[in-house]
Structure formats: structure tokens, C-alpha cells
Structure 1
Amino acid sequence: MSTRKRAFASAPRIAAKQSGDRNRGGGSPARNAGNTISAQPRRGARNTAAPAPLRTWRPAPSLRKNSTRCAEIGLPTRSTNPMLATASRRGRFDAFGKNVLRETLDLVGGADMQVEVIATSQTMDIWYVPDPARAALRAELGLLGELAAEPCQFEPFHDTPGPAELRDCVRKQLHWHHELERRAGGPVPFPRLCVLSSGRPATVLDAFGFDPVPGRPGLYRAAPGWRIDVVVIAELPRTRDTLLLRLLGARAVLRDAIRELIALPDDAWERGIALPWLLRLRFEVPADPSARTQEEAEEEEIVTEVQQWFEQLKQTLRDEARKEGLTEGRKEGLTEGQLRVLAAQFEKKLGRPLTEAEHPVLAERLDRLGSDRLDDVRLGLSADALTAWLADPAAR
């Protein structure tokens, strides 16, 4: 597949912030300080891994010169302050949702996180521009594909937003339009804003006059001049074409979506996008467990369930590999048989044969790092990240 092209419909791309995630929760001091919308805590640098395949199509590594990806989600500093613990939880799930959303949108266009609206030091969660050449591919994304049919500002909220949060998003939308026109030197189309809310923001829907879109449960739209959509994740139908959006939900919606994701075939493109980010979620154990809210306790159970599934999957694969390796080993010698099986597993994940240079690298790392570590790498990385790992002499 040729390298994906990035193009603004009417203006050049501007720099994306190197770090960031918003502290959700209306009225927080960090969020309301001055004109700066990007609030603490912000975490990590964006991972350079490209998205996994959508059916038989595999994208090439993206050329994001002014963007970075989160390499890891949620390894917070221990805190006994329940307010800080809640902020950390929100940050982890917000980051997870934004990375899954960006990886999916990357399949059909250019999607950057934390795009800076230079005029006022604000940042959008995701600024997306579609690739016209991928219209057929975009149609396979269901509702998200419909929302991604034109340039759009995406703002996902793990906690249900209120009027103040919506006004923040609209303020960024207006300033971004001004910035686009300034750079273009003339009028440009007004960009669409899409707010993704885990729960139903009843106050927002009522106060700002949003109406349900016929035939699309969970989608609400303001008057045409505003160009604002609100997606209520909890109201989306439980179908495969809404699965990745439902992974941006909370509590029971998130748990059900994760179970559906795990039940998909191993080569499902949704698994390739979401599982690596999902497996990076970690929970801080508070000094006083009784200080956890019910929602925090439920979501900790969800992540624990995912981690347990992952460990069971690794053990099953190891057992199968050892059994197959022993069979091969009777013919070729134990080490050679194990290496042959491991190479076949890596090739399946990569979607291509190993190169002549990669075969000795795999053999050296099997000897140096052991099969357990190689299982972790193979299961936890996307195909392109796995290629980069094989090419990095210092990788562990």
C-alpha cells in the first residue's frame, strides 16, 4: 500500500501538542485557568505504531511530522487524594478512547491528536481530514464512517459533559475556523464538531436544542448552522459497526464492548486497533480502597478482566507453541523447531514473511530474551510496531 497522503481541504496542517489529555469534569481549576483549554494531567508521547489491517487492507506507516502518539496509557503517580485519583482515572480512559478513535480514523484519512489552535493556546482532542480515495473503506466503519465523511473536530468524553464542556468545544471550533481562514487567506467551510459522550448529556441536549437524527439511535444534531453532532455512546445499538465507538463508553457499555471485541476472530481489524491500547490500561491501587467510587470499582474490574483474559491467551498460545515446537524439534532439533514455530507466529501477526535480516534477529532475541518475552511483544504490538521492534538493535 502506498504511503498515505495527508492534506487539509483548505489549509495546511498545524503543529500538534507533544503531550496532552484533558482533565474532564466541569469547573475544575485547571480547566478554567486563563484561556488555556489543555488541562493537566497530560500523559505520554504518541506511539508510532500504525493501525492494524481493515480486512485485507494494511496501511503503511503514517507520515505525521508534527504529531506524536501515546506510547503508554495510565501509569499514574500514587496519590491518596480522591480528587486526584478520579482525575487520573478520567485521564486514562479519555486517552484510551482518543487513541482508539484516532487509530480508526487513520484508516480512512488523516487524524491528529491535540491539534493546537494557535490563536488562543487551545487544543482539539482530534482533528480529522478524510482521504477521498478511501471512501469505500470509510463506508465499512458504519456510523463513525458517516461522521468521518468530512473534516471534523472530534471531542470524546469518558464522563458525560455539561454545558461548560460543550462551550469549550464550540469555542475551539470557532477559533479553529478563524485560524484556517487566516492560513488560507480567504473563506473556508466551517468545520464540523462531533462530541462523543459516554452517557446521555440531558442538560446539553435540552439547553442547546439538539434533535435526534432519524434512523440513527444515539446521534443528535444541533441546528444546521452550528454544525455540531453529539453521539450518546450508551444509546448506540449493539452491532459490530458501532463496536469501536462503544469502546469509548463507560461501565456496562464498556464491559460489553470489550467482551464483543475479545470474541471477534483473531484477524479482525477492530482487535488490531483496540487491543494494544486496551492492554496498556492500568489501575492505581489507592492507599484507601474504600475511597473508590462505585464507578471506579466497576471499571477497575473491567480492566482486571481484560488483563486476566490476556494472560490466559498468552498461556494458551505458549502451550500450543511448545507442543508444536516439540513436534518440530523431533525432526530438526529442539531449538530449531521452536524457532520455526515462533517465526510462523510472527509472520502471521506481521501479515507477511520475515525478511532475511529478520530471521537471525528473531533467533538472537529468542536466545537472549526468552520465549515469554517474545510472546508479550508479539501479542501486545501492532504489525507495524512489531516491524519497528525487529529493526531496533536496542529493543527488548
Structure 2
Amino acid sequence: MTRFIHDQFAKDYLEELLKTYGTVEAPRRVAGEVREIDVLFSPAIQQNSNLELLGLLGKFATTPALFEPFRNAASKEEICDCLLKLLEVRGEIQREANRNKTPIQESQIPKLWILTPTASTSLLSGFGATQQLEWLTGVHFFPEYLRTAIVAIHQLPRTQETLWLRILGRGKVQKQAIDELETLPSNHPFRRATLELLYNLQQNLVISPTPEEDDRELIMRLTPLYQQDKEQVRQEGRQEGRQEGRQEGIKQGERLVVENLLQVRFGSVDDDLQAIIEQILALPPAEFTPLLMQLSREELIARFSR
């Protein structure tokens, strides 16, 4: 269950970071047996100089690319499936070139970037993946004509250049990346959007029936960050004379979280549940979230109808 939550986060996250620099299709269906590419990226004709802000991810995005992120370590079978997707896309490009009677350009063929938390030595050697001197540690390239690399996120150096990929790691690596994200200037072009996606991930994990240990730690890490960010929004609202509007936006976001939790738990939000939402919102999210997850419908109505 939680793997699919993380998969959707990874697709949304990569789409958000890359959409400024080209065309993003997430997911993208390919011919043959129905398969979906997680993220297919085509760079804009004119390269954006701000692509450097994405560091190593930006370097990947200088050419057409397939991104296949994995929450757990990618298996041999999963990597083979990714290669099939790349070959299907290559076949589409070749057929289009044949119809137009034009030669296929190697630069038109996307490169496949398999983003996995870890990759064993035996897995890498089995696919003939090796590191190249001009690339950072953790990026393992297949033989040239396969146009594929495995990015072992936990092997990447902890530098600003790898931050946007380490966000997709797990455990301590992801926590470290979130810590670094928090220290970025508030006006950084990707900070706000990334935090909002992480908050959405947190809420989806909260309502998951069987969160993993890594997910529970991630929830705990993001909860105070959410509170700090909310307080910063309030302060910015006061400084800019828009406090009322900001607070209303926050309250609407919290209402949506409460309604979603009630919907997931009880199947629908009837009149009795609607009647107690305002009383629930009187509590901070750190207090009302566990109550919504633990109390029955009758207990919630009894508690908040007083």
C-alpha cells in the first residue's frame, strides 16, 4: 500500500521539478503489452539556464529522459521491465522516422534513469553497469547502446548537487535531504513546491493502514516542519498585510485534510460528521490527526458534539 503512495509522490515530485524545463508526461503509456513509464521528459528547445538549480537531476534533464523511481531497491525483473519500456519508446521513434523517411538521431532516443535507494554489487555487475569518471559516485552506466543508468541514491555524495535526488531516498538519506531542504532560502524556486508535495505525502501515509517503520519516521519528521512552515506563512501574511487571507487558506487546507481522513475511515462524510468538523479544526493537526485515526464514528461525534 505505502509503496504506491511513494510511487505517486515520486511522479508528482519529478513532474513539478522538471515541468519548467520541458514537456513532462507522467505516466506515459507505451505500445505492446500495456506498460506505463513513470515520467517521460522532453527538454525545451531552448535550454533554461536555471536547470543548474536541479544539480545532478538537471544534468539528467539536458536530454530526453525516462525516469523510473523505486521506493524499494529495484529488482532484476523490475530493471528488465524498465529496459522494455525504453526499447518500446525507441521503436516508436524508429517507426516515426521510417514513415517520414528521415534518419533517426541518437539524441532523439531518451536515456533511462532508474532511481533506486540501493543497488547491490551483483545486480550492477549482472547488467554490466559501471561508474564513469566524469560522473558522481552512485551513477552506474549500462553499455553505451542501452542508454541506461542505475542511480543508487544512497551512494550519492551528500552535496547540494544531489539534494533533489536524495529527496527520493528513504530512511536516513531522505531525512538528511529534508533537513537540507529546510535550510534553503524561503524564496528558493523549488523549496515551497517540494514541501507541499511532502506534506501531501505525509497525509497519505497517516491514513495508510500499515505504514512501514521508515514511513512512521518520515511522518514524525515532517510534522514539526509542517507546523513551522504554517507559522512562517502566518508571519509572511502579517508582514504583507494579508494575514486574514493566508490564515483562511491554511484553514481550508486543514479542513480538506479532515474531510479526507473522515472519507477514508467511514466511506462518506454525512451530516453528523460535517457538524463536528469546525470543533475538530479548533485543535492543531498534531492533536486531531491521531484522534481521527483512532476513534470510531460514534466516539468522534460524542467527543466533538459537546
Contact 1:100 1:244 in 2 (8 A): no
Partner of residue 253 from structure 1, selected from 173, 191, 194: 173
2:234 aligned residue: 318
Q: Does 2:86 correspond to 1:211?
A: no
1:378 Cα offset (Å): 9.1
What count of residue pairs does the alignment treat as equivalent?
245
Contact 1:111 1:129 in 2 (8 A): yes
2:223 aligned residue: 307
Distance 1:286 1:377 in 2: 22
2:24 aligned residue: 111
2:118 aligned residue: 199
Paired residue secondary structure (1:375): helix
Distance 1:302 1:245 in 2: 17
Change (3 A) 1:235 1:115: same
1:232 Cα offset (Å): 0.9
1:101 Cα offset (Å): 1.4
Letter in 2 for 1:152: A
Distance 2:234 2:51 in 1: 36
Paired residue secondary structure (1:309): helix
Contact 2:30 2:89 in 1 (8 A): yes
- Write out aligned runs for 1:213-292 (5 A): 213-215=132-134, 216-281=136-201, 282=203, 283-284=205-206
2:248 aligned residue: 373
Partner of residue 176 from structure 1, selected from 71, 83, 89: 89
Change (3 A) 1:263 1:377: farther
Contact 1:163 1:203 in 2 (8 A): no
- Scaled by the length of structure 1, the TM-score of the pair is 0.57
Letter in 1 for 2:73: T
Change (3 A) 1:284 1:177: same
Paired residue secondary structure (1:111): strand
Distance 1:267 1:159 in 2: 32
Letter in 2 for 1:123: E
- Write out aligned runs for 1:1-396 (5 A): 88-184=1-97, 185=99, 186=101, 187-188=103-104, 189=106, 190-215=109-134, 216-281=136-201, 282=203, 283-284=205-206, 296-315=212-231, 317-318=233-234, 341-342=241-242, 372-375=247-250
Distance 1:236 1:252 in 2: 13
Distance 1:376 1:203 in 2: 51
Paired residue secondary structure (1:154): strand
Change (3 A) 1:125 1:317: closer
Letter in 1 for 2:50: L
Paired residue secondary structure (1:116): strand
2:267 aligned residue: none
Change (3 A) 1:98 1:371: closer
Task: Identify which of structures 1 and 2 has the higher relative contact order when contacts are C-alpha pairs closer than 8 Å and 6+ apart.
Answer: 1
Distance 2:83 2:236 in 1: 53
Contact 1:314 1:376 in 2 (8 A): no
Letter in 1 for 2:10: G
Change (3 A) 1:299 1:202: farther
Change (3 A) 1:372 1:135: closer
Distance 1:126 1:183 in 2: 21
1:135 Cα offset (Å): 4.5
Distance 1:140 1:284 in 2: 31
Q: Deviations over 1:179-228 (max 9, x none)?
A: 22223425533432111111124332111110012141111101111111
Change (3 A) 1:159 1:372: same
CA RMSD of aligned residues (A): 2.6
1:165 Cα offset (Å): 0.4
1:142 Cα offset (Å): 2.1
1:273 Cα offset (Å): 3.1
Distance 1:297 1:275 in 2: 21
Give unpaired runs (5+ residues) of structure 1: 1-87, 325-339, 346-365, 380-396
Paired residue secondary structure (2:200): coil
Paired residue secondary structure (2:241): helix
1:320 Cα offset (Å): 7.2
1:285 Cα offset (Å): 5.5
1:152 Cα offset (Å): 1.3
Distance 1:203 1:193 in 2: 20
1:234 Cα offset (Å): 0.6
